[in-house]
A and B are shown apart, each in its own frame.
Chain A
């Protein structure tokens, strides 16, 4: 065996034993690249995902809801940072990841390119978008790259609060006036299909799936996760007294799952390609926040340098004393 073959064999052995790949292990270049791309996109999604909800912080209906929403948005920032930290163990800097996002060379989940038009959207996003994220992320707690799996465990612990607060908002609205019920139904109508599309293209058309499954990055396919999510959501919608906007939705006794109608993949690809309702706004806002913060980073660096100079100047005097 050549030394590369030996390394490859060791890597395959780690995967076969369901052990984790750790930062300083040898790994195939393609695995490293795939991992960086996926963790980075996940991190970018968490960070950009603050915007649709941040949009309602100042207009939350009560002080309690406002405090909850701020805590949730802060969590999403934290999720982004756990993930950037994991990505950095693969030999890329956060600085570079930032630039890749800002220049559009790396993407984030398309779901965050839809607008949050009413307060009910905050309920629908927590219930459905965080719900879909949990379905995906629970699987990823068992992914093969150690730092990514550990970040996912942290994140999953926090996500359940996100989904429950969203569901509670929906419950409050559906037990309210007719207008409030209508508001909840309208939000559900707009968020349902994008939430299903969040799981990605059907397995038959997913180019990366096979390799990702072989590397144990992905343990369930897009369609499997989507089905799980639909099966979970139907009884929840019933409980709320809301109607899922899908005339084809029906229980399939034989499969033991709900059948559901076709997803509009043209719309999905339009949004991925940058033509969604909010793509431009989201990146512009992110870049502006980064640029506006430049003076803070510069001031902190200048302060750190001065403190270091002072400490260096004081050190010999202390020794002499």
Chain B
């Protein structure tokens, strides 16, 4: 495929150290329009919050994709553990939904 450069015979796969480095990483959230939530759209690198906002503007809103941007240091985000997904999110019960209740038709829309 176009950007999947095929491996050359005898090519050694690059070793990845995973070591950090460079400028800090910030997560970017953009509000597309008034009345909507800020939604996560990616990340940028920058020395501080001001520059992170500017970079986010240049990278993620070149076509009026937003009216407001938040940036948050990636290291400051706490997340739920995907491995405990079932225990965490299995809180659904039929009685939390309106269709659980039998109401006579005469009541009309409710």
Contact = CB atoms under 8 A, between A and B. Distances in A.
A303 interface: yes
Contacts of B45: 94
Nearest to A104: B14
Nearest to B24: A304
Contact of A301 (B13, B21, B23): B23
B82 A107 contact: no
Given A95-B22, A96-B16, A199 B2 contact: yes
B13 A26 contact: no
Contacts of B23: 297, 300-301
B103 interface: no
Interface stretch (A59-67, A81-89, A185-193, A312-320): A81-89
A300 B82 contact: no
Contacts of B67: none
Contacts of B25: 88, 93-94
Contact of A95 (B3, B20, B46): B20
Interface in A209-239: 212, 218, 222, 225
Contacts of A137: 2
A37 to B, nearest CB: 7
Most buried by A among B4, B21, B58: B4
A85 B41 CA distance: 10
A200 B23 CA distance: 35
Interface residues of A, number: 66
B18 A41 contact: no
Interface string A73-91: 0110010011001101001
Contacts of B14: 37, 100, 105-106
Number of chain B interface residues as a range? 35 or more
B75 to A, nearest CB: 13
Main SS class of interface, B? loop
B21 A107 contact: no
Interface string A265-298: 0000100110000000000000000000000010
B17 interface: yes
Most buried by A among B1, B4, B21, B46: B1
A41 B48 contact: no
Given A136-B1, A200-B6, A96 B19 contact: yes
A92 B42 contact: no
Contact of B18 (A25, A96, A136): A96
Contact of A78 (B20, B43, B47, B62): B62
A36 interface: yes
A78 B65 CA distance: 14
B107 interface: no
26 contacts: A22-B82, A24-B79, A33-B16, A36-B16, A37-B14, A41-B3, A45-B2, A81-B44, A92-B16, A92-B18, A93-B25, A94-B22, A95-B20, A96-B18, A98-B22, A109-B5, A111-B2, A199-B1, A201-B6, A297-B22, A300-B46, A301-B47, A303-B48, A304-B48, A304-B51, A308-B48
Given A24-B82, A78-B62, 17 more contacts: A22-B82, A37-B14, A75-B62, A78-B60, A91-B18, A94-B22, A94-B45, A107-B5, A109-B3, A136-B1, A136-B3, A137-B2, A154-B41, A199-B1, A207-B7, A208-B7, A218-B1
Interface of A: 22, 24-26, 33, 36-38, 41-42, 45, 71, 74-75, 78, 81-82, 85-86, 88, 91-96, 98, 100, 105-111, 132-133, 135-137, 139-140, 151, 154, 158, 198-201, 206-208, 212, 218, 222, 225, 269, 272-273, 297, 300-301, 303-304, 307-308
